[in-house]
Structure 1
Amino acid sequence: MQKYRIYELAKIYNKGNDEIIAVLNKNNIEVKNRLNSVDEKAKEILDKAFASPSVKKNKRPPMRTVRFDQQGRPTGSKTAEVQKKSYSSYNTAVSKPVKMGMLEEAKKAEADKKAEKESLQRKNIINEGKKEGRQLPTGKMSVITHDGHMGEQIPHKEGQPARTERNDHPRKNNRPQGGYQQRGERSQGGDQRRGDRPQGGHQQRSDRFQGDRRPVGARRPVGDRRSGAAVKPAGGLDEQPLIPQARRDRPDKKKTKKDYERSRREKESGSLMARSLNQNKKKKHVAEKKATVYPTEIEVPESITVKELAEKLGREVSEIIKYLMLSGVMVTINQNLDHETVEIIAEEFGAKIIEAEAPAELAEYVPEADDERFLKPRPAVVTIMGHVDHGKTTLLDALRSTNVAMHEAGGITQRIGAYQIRYKNHKITFLDTPGHEAFTAMRSRGAQLTDIAVLIVAADDGVMPQTVEAIHHAKNAGVPIMVAINKIDKPGANPERIKEELSHEGLLCEEWGGDIIMVPISAKKKEGLDELLENILLVAEMQELKANPNREAYGIVVEAQLDRNRGPVMSVLVQNGTLHVGDGILAGKSWGRVRAMTNETGRKMKSAEPSAPVEILGMDSVPEAGEHFYVMDASRARNIAELHASRAKEEEQRSVQKVTLDNIFEKIKEGEMKQLDIIVKADVQGSVEALVQSFMGIKSDEVRIAVVHSGVGGITESDVMLASASNALIIGFNVRPDANARALAEKDGVDIRLYRVIYDAIDDVKSAMAGLLAPTVKEILLGHAEVRQVIHTPKVIVAGCYVQDGKITSNSMIRIVRDGIVVHEGKIGSLRRFKDDVKEVTEGFECGIAIESYRDVKEGDQLEAFRLEEEVAEL
Structure 2
Amino acid sequence: MTDQSDKPKLGTRPPLGLKRTVETGKVKQSFSHGRSNTVVVEVKKRRILGKPGEAAAPVVEAPVAAAPTPPPAPVRAAPPPPAPVQRRPADDIGARRELQAQLLREADEARMSALENARRRDDRAKVEQTEEEKRRAEDNRKADEAAVVEAARVAALPPEEAPAPSVDAAAPDEPDAGASAAPGDDRVYRKPGPVQVVKRPEIVRPARGKMGDDRRHSGKLTVTKALAGEDDNRARSLAALRREREKQKRSQQSAGPSSKQFREVVVPEGITVQELANRMAERGSDLIKSLFKMGLPSTQQDVIDQDTAELLITEYGHTIKRVSESDVDIDSAADVDADATMVTRSPVVTIMGHVDHGKTSLLDAIRGASVQSGEAGGITQHIGAYQVTIPDGSKITFLDTPGHEAFTEMRQRGANVTDIVVLVVAADDGLRPQTIEAINQTKAAGVPMIVAINKIDKPEAKPQKVREELLQHEIVVEDMGGDVQDVEISALKKTGLDKLLAAIEAQAELLELKANPDRAAEATVIEAKLDKGRGPLATVLVQRGTLKVGDVFVAGAVSGKVRAMHDDQGKMVKTAGPSVPVEVLGLGAVPSAGDPFTVVENEARAREVAAYRQGLRDTKRTTTAPMSVENMFADKASTMIEFPLVIKADVQGSAEAIVNALNRLSTDEIKVRILSAGVGAITESDVTLASASGAPIIGFNVRPNAKAREISTRHKVELRYYDVIYHLTDWAKGAMAGELGPEIIETVVGKAEIREVFSAGKHGKAAGLLVVEGIIRKALKARITREDVITYTGEIASLRRFKDDVAEVRAGLECGVTFTQNFVDLKAGDYLETYEVEERARTL
Common topology (TM > 0.5): yes
1:683–1:307: structure 2 CA closer, same or farther, 3 Å change rule? farther
2:549/2:565 contact within 8 Å kept: yes
SS in 1 for 2:42: helix
1:211–1:637: structure 2 CA closer, same or farther, 3 Å change rule? closer
1:427–1:283: structure 2 CA closer, same or farther, 3 Å change rule? closer
The one of 624, 649, 672 aligned to 2:592? 624
Q: Could you tell me which residue of structure 2 aligns to residue 679 of structure 1?
A: 646
Once the 2 structures are TM-superposed, how far is the Cα of residue 453 of structure 1 from its aligned partner?
Answer: 0.7
Once the 2 structures are TM-superposed, how far is the Cα of residue 688 of structure 1 from its aligned partner?
Answer: 1.3
Q: Could you tell me which residue of structure 2 aligns to residue 447 of structure 1?
A: 415
| 2:518 is the alignment partner of 1:550 | yes
Q: Could you tell me which residue of structure 2 aligns to residue 79 of structure 1?
A: none
Matches within 5 A, 1:753-792: 753-773=720-740, 776-785=743-752, 787=754, 789-792=756-759
1:791–1:640: structure 2 CA closer, same or farther, 3 Å change rule? same
Q: Could you tell me which residue of structure 1 aligns to residue 222 of structure 2?
A: 264
| 2:782 is the alignment partner of 1:809 | no
The one of 174, 179, 183 aligned to 2:41? 183
2:23/2:43 contact within 8 Å kept: no
Q: Distance in 2 between matches of 1:594 and 1:659?
A: 45
Structure 2: unaligned runs, 5 residues or longer = 1-21, 29-34, 47-104, 126-135, 137-202, 206-211, 229-242
Q: Distance in 1 between matches of 2:467 and 2:455?
A: 14
| 2:694 is the alignment partner of 1:727 | yes
**What amino acid is the match of 2:397?**
T
List per-residue Cα deviations over 1:507-550 (Å, max 9, x = no partner). Answer: 11112111111111111111211111111111111222222333
Q: What percent of counterpart residues are identical?
A: 39
**What amino acid is the match of 1:527?**
T
| 2:377 is the alignment partner of 1:417 | no
List per-residue Cα deviations over 1:680-699 (Å, max 9, x = no partner). Answer: 11111111111122223333
Once the 2 structures are TM-superposed, how far is the Cα of residue 458 of structure 1 from its aligned partner?
Answer: 0.8
Q: TM (normalized to structure 2)?
A: 0.64
Q: Distance in 1 between matches of 2:830 and 2:741?
A: 35
1:262–1:604: structure 2 CA closer, same or farther, 3 Å change rule? closer
1:297–1:185: structure 2 CA closer, same or farther, 3 Å change rule? same
1:783/1:803 contact within 8 Å kept: no
1:558/1:626 contact within 8 Å kept: yes
The farther-off stretch of 540-549 and 848-857 is 848-857
2:798/2:805 contact within 8 Å kept: yes
1:783/1:807 contact within 8 Å kept: yes
Q: Higher relative contact order by CA 8 Å / sep ≥ 6: 1 or 2? A: 2
1:776–1:725: structure 2 CA closer, same or farther, 3 Å change rule? same
Q: TM (normalized to structure 1)?
A: 0.62
Once the 2 structures are TM-superposed, how far is the Cα of residue 661 of structure 1 from its aligned partner?
Answer: 4.0
Q: Could you tell me which residue of structure 1 aligns to residue 438 of structure 2?
A: 470
Q: Could you tell me which residue of structure 2 aligns to residue 255 of structure 1?
A: 213
The farther-off stretch of 386-395 and 732-741 is 732-741
Matches within 5 A, 1:305-454: 357=324, 363-364=330-331, 368-423=335-390, 424-454=392-422
Q: Distance in 2 between matches of 1:517 and 1:735?
A: 41
Q: Distance in 2 between matches of 1:534 and 1:440?
A: 29
Once the 2 structures are TM-superposed, how far is the Cα of residue 296 of structure 1 from its aligned partner?
Answer: 14
Once the 2 structures are TM-superposed, how far is the Cα of residue 247 of structure 1 from its aligned partner?
Answer: 7.4
Once the 2 structures are TM-superposed, how far is the Cα of residue 556 of structure 1 from its aligned partner?
Answer: 1.5
Matches within 5 A, 1:499-648: 499-636=467-604, 638-648=606-616
1:407–1:631: structure 2 CA closer, same or farther, 3 Å change rule? same
1:803/1:841 contact within 8 Å kept: no
Once the 2 structures are TM-superposed, how far is the Cα of residue 704 of structure 1 from its aligned partner?
Answer: 2.5
Once the 2 structures are TM-superposed, how far is the Cα of residue 675 of structure 1 from its aligned partner?
Answer: 1.9
**What amino acid is the match of 1:183?**
V
Once the 2 structures are TM-superposed, how far is the Cα of residue 503 of structure 1 from its aligned partner?
Answer: 0.9
1:659/1:667 contact within 8 Å kept: no
1:263–1:617: structure 2 CA closer, same or farther, 3 Å change rule? closer
Once the 2 structures are TM-superposed, how far is the Cα of residue 305 of structure 1 from its aligned partner?
Answer: 10
Count, aligned residues: 631
1:556/1:628 contact within 8 Å kept: yes
1:249–1:427: structure 2 CA closer, same or farther, 3 Å change rule? closer
Q: Distance in 1 between matches of 2:308 and 2:686?
A: 41
The one of 661, 664, 667 aligned to 2:632? 664
List per-residue Cα deviations over 1:794-844 (Å, max 9, x = no partner). Answer: 887411445745233367232145xxx346531347613689998965557
Once the 2 structures are TM-superposed, how far is the Cα of residue 554 of structure 1 from its aligned partner?
Answer: 2.0
Q: Could you tell me which residue of structure 2 aligns to residue 496 of structure 1?
A: 464
Q: Distance in 1 between matches of 2:411 and 2:520?
A: 28
1:288–1:727: structure 2 CA closer, same or farther, 3 Å change rule? farther
Once the 2 structures are TM-superposed, how far is the Cα of residue 369 of structure 1 from its aligned partner?
Answer: 3.0
SS in 2 for 1:181: strand
1:576–1:850: structure 2 CA closer, same or farther, 3 Å change rule? closer
The one of 654, 658, 683 aligned to 1:691? 658
SS in 1 for 2:583: strand
**What amino acid is the match of 2:663?**
M
Q: Could you tell me which residue of structure 2 aligns to residue 655 of structure 1?
A: 623
Q: Could you tell me which residue of structure 2 aligns to residue 708 of structure 1?
A: 675
Q: Could you tell me which residue of structure 2 aligns to residue 832 of structure 1?
A: 798
Matches within 5 A, 1:16-95: none
Q: Distance in 1 between matches of 2:617 and 2:464?
A: 53
1:135/1:212 contact within 8 Å kept: no
Once the 2 structures are TM-superposed, how far is the Cα of residue 482 of structure 1 from its aligned partner?
Answer: 0.7
Once the 2 structures are TM-superposed, how far is the Cα of residue 430 of structure 1 from its aligned partner?
Answer: 1.0
1:185/1:208 contact within 8 Å kept: no
Q: Distance in 2 between matches of 1:831 and 1:373?
A: 99
**What amino acid is the match of 1:825?**
T
2:650/2:680 contact within 8 Å kept: yes
Q: Could you tell me which residue of structure 2 aligns to residue 200 of structure 1?
A: none
| 2:744 is the alignment partner of 1:798 | no
List per-residue Cα deviations over 1:150-173 (Å, max 9, x = no partner). Answer: xxxxxxxxxxxxxxxxxxxxxxxx
Q: Could you tell me which residue of structure 1 aligns to residue 164 of structure 2?
A: none
1:830/1:849 contact within 8 Å kept: yes
Q: Distance in 2 between matches of 1:676 and 1:418?
A: 36
List per-residue Cα deviations over 1:363-401 (Å, max 9, x = no partner). Answer: 545684333333322221111111111110111111112
**What amino acid is the match of 2:696?**
L
Q: Distance in 2 between matches of 1:508 and 1:367?
A: 36
Q: Could you tell me which residue of structure 1 aligns to residue 835 of structure 2?
A: 866
1:716/1:741 contact within 8 Å kept: yes
List per-residue Cα deviations over 1:264-288 (Å, max 9, x = no partner). Answer: 3368699xxxxxxx99x99997999
Q: Distance in 1 between matches of 2:252 and 2:740?
A: 67
Matches within 5 A, 1:276-291: none
2:758/2:768 contact within 8 Å kept: no
**What amino acid is the match of 1:761?**
L
**What amino acid is the match of 1:509?**
V
Q: Distance in 1 between matches of 2:304 and 2:796?
A: 70
Q: Distance in 2 between matches of 1:421 and 1:864?
A: 76
Q: Could you tell me which residue of structure 2 aligns to residue 60 of structure 1?
A: none
1:212–1:300: structure 2 CA closer, same or farther, 3 Å change rule? same
Q: Could you tell me which residue of structure 2 aligns to residue 748 of structure 1?
A: 715
The farther-off stretch of 635-644 and 759-768 is 635-644
**What amino acid is the match of 1:683?**
D
SS in 2 for 1:184: strand
SS in 2 for 1:679: strand
Q: Distance in 1 between matches of 2:123 and 2:806?
A: 122
Q: Distance in 2 between matches of 1:663 and 1:535?
A: 58
SS in 2 for 1:255: coil
**What amino acid is the match of 2:832?**
L
1:288–1:636: structure 2 CA closer, same or farther, 3 Å change rule? closer
SS in 2 for 1:826: strand
**What amino acid is the match of 1:677?**
P
**What amino acid is the match of 1:813?**
A
Max Rg structure: 2
Structure 1: unaligned runs, 5 residues or longer = 1-133, 141-176, 189-206, 215-225, 227-243, 271-277
2:420/2:450 contact within 8 Å kept: yes
